[in-house]
Amino acid sequence: MSDATQPASSLSLSPNPSELAELIKQAARHLGFDFASVAPYEPPPHADTFPDWIANDYHGTMAWLAKHPDRRMDPRVQWPQGKSVLSVGMSYHQPRPMDAPDPADPSRGRFASYAWGFDYHDLILPRLKALGKAIDYLAGRVVNARAYVDTGPILERPLAAAGGAGFIGKHTLLIHWKHGSYFLLGELLLDLELPSDPARKPLFGCRDCHSCGTSCPTGALDTPYLNRANRCISYLTIEHRGILPRNLRSELRNWVFGCDICQQACPYNTRGLLPTREPWFEPRIPDWGAPPLLELIALDDDQFGAMFKGSPVKRTKRRGLLRNVAVALGNWGSDEAIPALKRVMEDEPEPLIRAHAAWALGQLSEYPAVRVVLDRAFKHETDEIVLEEINTSLDHGIHGINGTTEKN
């Protein structure tokens, strides 16, 4: 029976904006997202610090980050038609089984855990598009949308925090009460007015904890809430193309793709987190993302392609990954690495990999065989940069005549 005193809207079958927002968040959960929240269509808190971050060159060689700062800081500039930001998060957390090989073993190459399985972009973007279709249905009209997973100039973490999805930790990652920071974000900018979720003040936040900063070997997180990305191991091993800064190579330890050190140090990630529901993230990289370095350095183009098909690791290409593996072989400090590094110096066509192998040999200078390998490589090498690395390695601990070797 209808109540004539009720406003017309409550008699309608179309949901009101709050109900619609709730239905959309439920649809997101049905589509496998672990959480969803709505933020106001405006610059998120602290967005105005972005130009300083760029001016300080913390973005290193990620020139694309410096483009369109006005768009990145304000979704209204990026897409004027939009009216709300829907952020979604998906956990990739998988506790390593007790009997998995120890990833800290320096003879192994370590991959960040988000990269153990298939590429998250290929999972989240289609799911966001499916969510867009569900929103059309729920809203009873075609809702125009822009879907992003690292693919658009927006500040994903601050926007998700502004919608109450969690809080930004001192490591600059977003922390969710159930999922810690081991999740990935995606967004739909919508031309649909939805009520925003309140940004939640964290109960405890980071307080005086700075474990992420003190555990970061490169000092990238020395200042709370600031990542000097040009020193971040994740940047160095994935985004930085070319020669790695010499002063940071030892600090990469055995990380060969990305890094989880700041996340592992965070107390919000050490208590029982819910594991991911997505088989997509199941480890495809052997030994729970920590295979032997000697296997990695031996990968040819075809083997690299087969091992990392559909994986985020393909981003570095073989040359980038093997550059990092060469550095990790030097950091291992074992003479077991010498035959593999010798083979690189003799047969590897990619100068970038040879250059870092020469550095790695320099780290093993207490083994007499190294001098022979480097001397021989110096005689045959034609690439200027590799020659310089060989010379520095010879100079470093081995001390040839006058500290260098004459090329003849």
Here the tokens at position 178 are 């159930």
Does the footprint of ligand B12 cover residue 158 (CB under 6 A)?
yes
Residue of 48, 52, 150, 222 marked active site: 150
Pick out residues in 185-214 that bind ligand B12 (CB under 6 A). 185
Does the footprint of ligand B12 cover residue 174 (CB under 6 A)?
yes
Binder of ligand B12 out of 173, 189, 307, 326 (CB under 6 A): 173
What is the Cα–Cα distance from 174 to 163, expressed in whole angstroms?
12
Amino acid identity at 320: G
Binder of ligand B12 out of 168, 188, 265, 326 (CB under 6 A): 168
Does the footprint of ligand B12 cover residue 47 (CB under 6 A)?
yes
What is the Cα–Cα distance from 145 to 84, expressed in whole angstroms?
10
- Residue 170 C-beta: closest distance to ligand B12, Å: 8
Interface stretch with ligand B12, choices 224-232, 242-250, 296-304, 349-357 (CB under 6 A): 224-232
Interface characters, 108-147, with ligand B12 (x: CB under 6 A): ----x-x---------------------------------
- Please say which residue, 119 or 381, places its beta carbon nearer to ligand B12: 119
What is the Cα–Cα distance from 133 to 9, expressed in whole angstroms?
24
**Do 194 and 80 meet the contact criterion of CB atoms below 8 Å apart?**
no
Spatial neighbors of 238 by CB under 8 A, at least 6 apart, are: 257, 258, 315, 316, 320
Does the footprint of ligand B12 cover residue 184 (CB under 6 A)?
yes
What is the Cα–Cα distance from 264 to 167, expressed in whole angstroms?
17
What is the Cα–Cα distance from 406 to 394, expressed in whole angstroms?
11
Q: Is 150 labeled as catalytic in the residue annotation?
A: yes
Which phi and psi (to 5°) does residue 293 adopt? -60, -35
Binder of ligand B12 out of 23, 53, 317, 350 (CB under 6 A): 53
**For residue 87, what is the enclosing H or E element?**
strand 84-91
Does the footprint of ligand B12 cover residue 155 (CB under 6 A)?
yes
Neighbour tally for 90: CB within 10 Å: 25
Does the footprint of ligand B12 cover residue 83 (CB under 6 A)?
no
- Residue 12 C-beta: closest distance to ligand B12, Å: 37
- Which residue intervals of 15-120 are DSSP H helices? 17-30, 50-55, 63-66, 69-73, 75-78
| Nearest residue to 31 (alpha-carbon basis) of 121, 133, 115 | 133
Q: Which residue has the CB atom at the shortest distance from ligand B12? A: 258
- Please say which residue, 49 or 81, places its beta carbon nearer to ligand B12: 49
The residues that touch ligand B12, with contacts defined as CB under 6 A, are 46-47, 49-50, 53, 62, 65, 112, 114, 149-150, 154-158, 168, 171-174, 181, 183-185, 225, 227, 229, 232, 234-235, 238-239, 258-260, 262
Residues with catalytic roles: 150
